[in-house]
């Protein structure tokens, strides 16, 4: 409603309540950027503009914490997916479902098909109000794999992985 929208617009970013809508940027700037990462409460959230709409998801891949900001965006079976640059895991940006291919040997001849790992990556609600874009963190019940890389232990693991990758590339 209009009163709620006015209250949201009047809120200072620091004063936004936990669990509410959080200002992440101006619509035009986010469209121009195509994707960016914003801190929202205790999470790093990737904001993506593709196919004329906004998507938001945890910015580190559920599999091993890869930075999704640097991943490719592909269409898989009509679904927009982020491809993790680290291990090429495919994640549907709309619902966080992990996708993979496997050969269906029941077909003759056997054919490769897309299958689901289930929801692995936490996605978040994006709302645009009068040119401002807001994110509301997901309250999806239960734990999702991407939650690990948003916590303190996951942050430590991301740093270790980055250092190991740096050592490996310096030896090449």
In the prediction, which pLDDT does 132 show?
Answer: 97
Query: DSSP label at 69?
Result: G
The predicted model gives 86-102 an average pLDDT of 96
In the prediction, which pLDDT does 19 show?
Answer: 60
Task: Summarize the chain as % helix, strand, coil (round to 5).
Answer: 25, 40, 35
Pairing of strands 90-92, 79-83: antiparallel
- Residue 10 reports pLDDT greater than 70: no
Task: Kindly report the length of the chain.
Answer: 172
Query: DSSP label at 17?
Result: P
Q: How far apart are CA 22 and CA 16, in angstroms?
A: 7
Reported pTM: 0.82
Task: List, in order of start, the domains of the chain with CATH numbers.
Answer: 2-171 (2.102.10.10)
Kindly report the average pLDDT of the chain as a whole number. 87
Question: Comparing C-alpha atoms, which of 84, 11, 79 is closest to residue 50?
Answer: 79
């Amino acid at each position: 409603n209009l009163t709620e929208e006015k209250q949201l617009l009047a809120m200072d970013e620091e004063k936004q309540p936990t669990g509410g809508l959080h200002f992440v940027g101006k619509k035009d700037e986010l469209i121009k950027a195509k994707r960016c990462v914003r801190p929202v409460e205790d999470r790093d959230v990737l904001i993506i503009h593709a196919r004329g709409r906004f998507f938001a998801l945890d910015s580190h891949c559920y599999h091993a914490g890869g930075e999704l900001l640097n991943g490719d965006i592909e269409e898989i079976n009509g679904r927009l997916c982020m491809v993790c640059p680290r291990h090429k895991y495919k994640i549907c940006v709309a619902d966080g479902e992990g996708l993979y291919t496997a050969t269906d040997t029941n077909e003759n001849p056997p054919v490769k098909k897309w299958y689901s790992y289930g929801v692995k990556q936490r996605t978040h609600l994006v709302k645009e109000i009068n040119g401002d874009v807001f994110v509301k963190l997901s309250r999806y019940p239960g734990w999702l794999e991407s939650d690990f890389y948003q916590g303190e232990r996951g942050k430590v693991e991301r740093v270790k992985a980055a250092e190991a990758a740096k050592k490996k590339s310096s030896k090449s």
